[in-house]
Amino acid sequence: TQKGPAHTQTDIWLTPQYVIDAIGLSDLDPCGWLPEGKPFVETARRYFTEEDDGLVQDWEGSVFCNPPYSDLATWAEKCMEHAAKGNDVILLCFARTETKIWQKIGKSCDGVNFVAKRMKFLDAEGKERTNGNAPSTLVAWGDNAVERIRQVPGFVLVNPNV
């Protein structure tokens, strides 16, 4: 997750290790949080940091995106654009299914895992936080991404509309 000038400390919800242990590494994490040059949890083979601004970069290969939740819509749109080019994408976000962007995500994705328990994310120092303030989802575009999110305990739905 990136923290930009308009973002607050509450935008730092770093991915727990058990999620990556289950889904494996992606080619790119466009929202890399790399204190001292390396992540607390290795999510990908390549990262864009806040300074790189992953939103303006060209994405290549499979993507794992745990975006700043204060700007989920912009990051989700970029994920959907990348997936539309035939790339596998996994987006980690809260299950705010009542929002317009989540409705768009849900209609476009190939599958979604409503994670079985509240995730205990890491904070900016790599320390485990209390449970997230909402249920989490792993959203997948691409058949391989759907198979990867199935590895995390939860309720997986495959989108019949796609």
The string of pLDDT tens digits covering residues 132-158 is 778 999 999 999 999 999 999 998 888
**Confidence band, pLDDT 50/70/90 cuts, at residue 6:** very low
Q: How far is CA 15 from CA 31, 58, 118, 162, in A?
A: 11, 23, 12, 28
pLDDT value at 2 more than 60 = no
Question: What angle (nearest 5°) sits at the alpha carbon of residue 57, between those of residues 6 and 104?
Answer: 70
The pTM for the full model equals 0.91
Q: What percent of the chain has pLDDT over 90?
A: 67
Find, among 146, 137, 135, the residue nearest to 93 by Cα.
137
pLDDT value at 121 more than 90 = no
